[in-house]
Chain A
Amino acid sequence: MTPLLRGDLSGLSFPDDLPQLREEALLALREGTPLSNLFRALATEHPMALGDLVVGPKALEGAIAVREALEELDALEQAVPAGGLYQRLAILGKASQSEVLQAAVTRHPRASWLIRLSEAIEPTPGTAHLKATVQEPWFGGICRAHAQAGHLEALHQVAATGRLEPVIGLLAAGFRSESLDAGAAALHVNPKAPLAAHVSAMLGPQTDTWLSSIVSRLQSRESAEYLTQSAAPFPKTFNILAAVLPGLR
């Protein structure tokens, strides 16, 4: 292992010595030599040079280099704006994309650029971001952002765990039918979820119309019974529930 790869940067001057740095790093990657010592030294002494090496125009490519870069995110985020940093890391290593997204979600859970990053990476956009923020008090805002981006499947998956925030997010973004499906899915696993309360805060006088439309989507007697308990202020919904309840198992 060369002194440079051991993290000895003495005698180097940046940006003049960037080509040499890149050459040695490429060779190390080809030979399977770890870059961690070099990256650590650069992160401490020359974060801009590290940024150039791992996300610059001639950045090292491949999942191995990206994974090593993910170990030095504190320094990299000082050198490169976070949104562009993670986008670039995702492009440079296909096999490490999910790790890049996970790191981005963990470090910047409220960043708006996560919406586009998840679209670029995930087969079901929004999944990792929603999963990582589900316990946060501002989770409703994350759901709205993903709903506005049309990440319907990921939102439905979260609703199917009994959460109501995706339902409201879908409603706010104008996905009425999808919000009804999500609401029914939430009630299926969490029949006591205060759906009527949250929907009425969102829809006001149109709540009765929306709630009455969910009745045919309910999948259990229990969810219909609990919805009935909060349906008294909504005469149309209440009457439909009263009619269908005897036939539900």
Chain B
Amino acid sequence: MAIGTPQADGWISLRSGNKAPIVDAFQQIQRLHAHLSGLVADDALHLARAAWDTLLTMPRQDLGPDEGHDLCALIFTRSEQHATLSGIGIDRIWAWTHDALTVIAGPDHPELSAPGIPKLPPRALVLEEPAALYLGLCHDEKAVPNNPEEALRLSGLST
């Protein structure tokens, strides 16, 4: 989902309660959307912080049957001054630059933590030159893409 305003905007991709029945999972997404949709901040760092603060403080039941213990999230924010990328429960991150997908963080990256709501907001990676697109692979995701085309297809961005 998109967040923010033209001054500082961004996108949140998350997975939580994905084992729940479709209708239950969707209702949970609607609750998450309601919590996150009004976020406003004056720059990218503050917007990322606001997003994480919201996730950390919202009622746990709104994060699904596992109350957020299975949460995987990737948050990108940008403003005139900065762009940031932060996440939890992400095993790998690709960036789409120069018409190609490049791995920018692998499973051993120190900033990529295990799934679940953390006690503190994860540290945001400040990006000097943001890519057009970032893709994250959720922890324990079985379908690991072997090439950029497959990554786009598995993420639902292409058919």
**Do chains A and B stick together as partners?**
yes
Residues of A within 8 A of B2 (CB): 235
Whether A232 pairs with B157 at a CB distance below 8 angstroms is no
- Consensus secondary structure, chain A interface: helix
Whether B157 pairs with A205 at a CB distance below 8 angstroms is yes
B37 beta carbon closer than 8 Å to chain A: yes
A81 beta carbon closer than 8 Å to chain B: no
Residues of A within 8 A of B22 (CB): 194, 197-198, 201
B123 beta carbon closer than 8 Å to chain A: no
B25 beta carbon closer than 8 Å to chain A: yes
Docked CA distance A82–B27 (Å) = 44
Chain A 178-206 interface residues, beta-carbon cutoff 8 Å to B:
194, 196-198, 200-201, 203-206
Q: Which chain B residues have a beta carbon within 8 Å of chain A's beta carbons?
A: 1-2, 22-23, 25-27, 29-30, 33-34, 37, 155-157, 159
Docked CA distance A249–B34 (Å) = 29
Contact status of A230 and B30, CB under 8 A, knowing A194-B22, A197-B25? yes
Residues of B within 8 A of A230 (CB): 26, 30
CB pairs A–B below 8 angstroms (22 shown): A174-B159, A194-B22, A194-B23, A196-B26, A197-B25, A197-B26, A198-B22, A200-B29, A201-B22, A201-B26, A203-B156, A204-B155, A205-B155, A205-B157, A206-B156, A206-B157, A206-B159, A232-B30, A232-B33, A232-B34, A232-B37, A233-B1
- Find A200's partner among B26, B37, B155, B157 (CB 8 Å cutoff): B26
Closest B residue to A176 using CB positions: B159
- What are the interface flags for A197-234 relative to B under an 8 Å C-beta threshold, 1 for contact and 0 otherwise? 11011011110000000000000000000000010110
Residues of A within 8 A of B25 (CB): 197, 201
Residues of B within 8 A of A232 (CB): 30, 33-34, 37
Contact status of A233 and B30, CB under 8 A, knowing A194-B23, A197-B22, A201-B22? yes
Instruction: Give the size range of A's interface with the partner.
Output: 10 to 19
| In the complex, the 7 A-B pairs of residues with the closest C-beta atoms, listed nearest first | A204-B156, A197-B26, A233-B33, A201-B22, A194-B23, A197-B23, A205-B156
Docked CA distance A200–B1 (Å) = 13
Residues of B within 8 A of A196 (CB): 26
- What are the interface flags for A232-243 relative to B under an 8 Å C-beta threshold, 1 for contact and 0 otherwise? 110100000000
Contact status of A233 and B29, CB under 8 A, knowing A194-B22, A197-B23, A201-B22? yes
Closest A residue to B37 using CB positions: A232
Residues of A within 8 A of B1 (CB): 233
Within the complex, what minimum Cβ distance (angstroms) separates A232 from chain B? 6
Closest B residue to A164 using CB positions: B22
Docked CA distance A112–B25 (Å) = 31
Docked CA distance A235–B155 (Å) = 20
Residues of A within 8 A of B159 (CB): 174, 206
Residues of B within 8 A of A206 (CB): 156-157, 159
Docked CA distance A200–B30 (Å) = 12
Docked CA distance A232–B30 (Å) = 7
Within the complex, what minimum Cβ distance (angstroms) separates A13 from chain B? 58
Within the complex, what minimum Cβ distance (angstroms) separates B35 from chain A? 12
Which of B25, B26, B27, B33 is most buried by chain A, counting CB atoms within 10 A of its CB? B26
Residues of A within 8 A of B30 (CB): 230, 232-233
